Chains A and B, each alone.
Chain A
Amino acid sequence: MKLLIKEWLNFLNEGYMQDFKKLDEMWYTSKNPYDFMKKLSNSGMRVIGSGATRVTYSCDEVDFIVKVFNPSSFMYSNPNKSDTDITLSKYNTELRDIVPKVLHASHDNTWIVVEKVMPISDFSYEDLRKVFPTAAEFFDNVNIVGANLSQEYFKEII
């Protein structure tokens, strides 16, 4: 049993922890968000999205994304902080279950690592029916009354 646990820990370390260690090293050399974002780009990650306060990086090889608080939006509160609070919250399960989990973070939440989430458009009709059973039942009920909706219309219902 001990051997199994040790093997499992080794597996985790070789997976996520190696990547997180690399991110920590990138951050702690300067603790500067601009430098950090430059280093993320140099390490093969690319910008996959950006909003009012954050820039998001990831690449195909990893199953996580890095959200960096944009230093130029210092007048806003840092949403990374609330994401971390929700993941760590013991009681707020309603929100915790619907927010991508924070897996790692810098000491001041300038950047966080969260699980990778794919847009609805990337999933097949069959998979979406399993994820959205209410929409699937509604879709079937409406088709029974003669609407004859095509599978493409299912995403509209969601």
Chain B
Amino acid sequence: MHINICEGLNLDRNQSYLAKQAIINTTLHKDVIKIFSAMKQIRSSDVHTGNIGITLNSEPSPENIKILDFDIVNFKD
């Protein structure tokens, strides 16, 4: 998950400052925590939109996030 706020959104200096504050104020929910936890053991290059999928459950939630294909760098059984 990466984004260049200033360039990507064409924000002026004041807006950029406010946007950075918005990032700081964003709470990390289970979606990010789940991906971060997995990244302890898989390559960060495997974590991109094209390699992330969602299982077909009745109620969508962070539980449904799946990484499709990856190399394990630090497997613990």
Residues of A within 8 A of B (CB): 51, 63, 79, 82, 85-86, 89, 91-92, 94-95, 97-100, 115-120, 123, 127-128, 130-135, 137-138, 141-142, 144-147, 149, 155-158
Q: Are B22 and A100 in contact (CB under 8 A)?
A: no
Asked, given contacts A118-B54, A137-B26, whether A155 binds B38 with beta carbons under 8 Å apart, the answer is: no
**Interface residues of B, count at CB 8 A:** 50
Q: Find the residue from A63, A91, A130 having the highest chain B CB count within 10 A.
A: A130
Residues of A close to B25: CB separation below 8 A: 141
Residues of B within 8 A of A (CB): 1, 3, 5, 8-9, 11, 15, 18-19, 21-23, 25-32, 34-35, 37-38, 40-42, 49-50, 52-56, 59-70, 72, 75-77
What are 10 A-B contacts defined by CB distance under 8 Å? A89-B77, A92-B76, A98-B35, A100-B53, A117-B53, A118-B55, A131-B54, A131-B62, A132-B62, A135-B31
Asked, given contacts A89-B77, A94-B40, whether A147 binds B55 with beta carbons under 8 Å apart, the answer is: no
Chain B residue with Cβ nearest A82? B72
Seed contacts A132-B31, A137-B26, A141-B22; 9 additional CB < 8 Å A-B pairs: A85-B77, A98-B35, A98-B66, A117-B54, A117-B68, A120-B54, A133-B62, A134-B32, A147-B9
